[in-house]
Structures are given as C-alpha cells and as structure tokens.
Amino acid sequence: MELSIKTNQKEECIDITNLVKNFLGKSEVKEGLINIYTPHTTAAIIINENNDPNIQGDFLSLLNKIIPQGIWKHDKIDGNAAAHIKASIIGSSQTIPVEKGKMQLGKWQSIMFVELDGPRQRRIIFTAIESKS
C-alpha cells in the first residue's frame, strides 16, 4: 500500500504510527513483519519517542549541528546537500516485528516520517509480510 502525505515545514518529524496501524489492520497479517519505506532521498523513517515533542526538536537540532547546510558541493546545484546526507545516515525504512496482529513497538516508541527538505508532497510505502511457520 502506498500513502501520500503533505509536509508543512523545511524539517519536521511527523508521527505516522496510527497510519501504519491502520494499514496493518487491513493487511490481516498476524505474525510477521511490517516495513515502512519512503522513496525519497531527502526524507527518512525513524522510530523514537513521541511523548515529549522536545525529543523530535532535539533530534533535528543535533542533525543540523553535525551536518550544517550550505557547505557541500551539491549545494551549488539545488542547495539541499545537507538533507541528502542526513537522510542517508538516518535511513529510508524501518522494519517492525508483528505478533498477534500488533506491531511490537516499545511503550514509548512511535514511527515517524522525517522531512528534511520540505514542504513537499511525500510518499510512504507499507509492506506487511506474514511469517510461514
């Protein structure tokens, strides 16, 4: 299944946990894996805490401190080299075990889409795989 989302800021973390839960419920996978993937080179998928919104801000602040904008060769083309580097380091997908039809996320874990070069229209692809036992 593929979903389109609209981001609103240059950089932001968007909680997509409920979107993934809805997809999993429709998939009828009870035991297996679910993969969440974004086919963009300036976006990423993470699992992190969503109870305290400061975590997301701290995460983006750290990325900006260690990967500053405007100093890379690719910036001469379209000014978004830092976004490409950040996305490459973070990764474009996450895979989560599924047991009894539920994702095995920890108590404080949420799945987030990380926009690094927005605002844009973005795609997220979900794949659920049933274990054969």
Predicted confidence (pLDDT) per residue in 62-101, tens digit: 999 999 988 888 878 898 999 999 999 999 999 999 999 9
- Residue 133 above 90 pLDDT? no
Q: Which helix (H) or strand (E) holds 5?
A: strand 2-6
Of the options 3.40.50.300, 2.40.100.10, 2.60.120.460, 3.40.50.150, the CATH number for the domain spanning 2-128 = 2.60.120.460
- Residue 23 above 90 pLDDT? yes
Average pLDDT over residues 6-33: 96
Question: Which tokens in the block code for residue 52?
Answer: 């305290």
- Residue 53 above 80 pLDDT? yes
Predicted confidence (pLDDT) per residue in 7-17, tens digit: 999 999 999 99
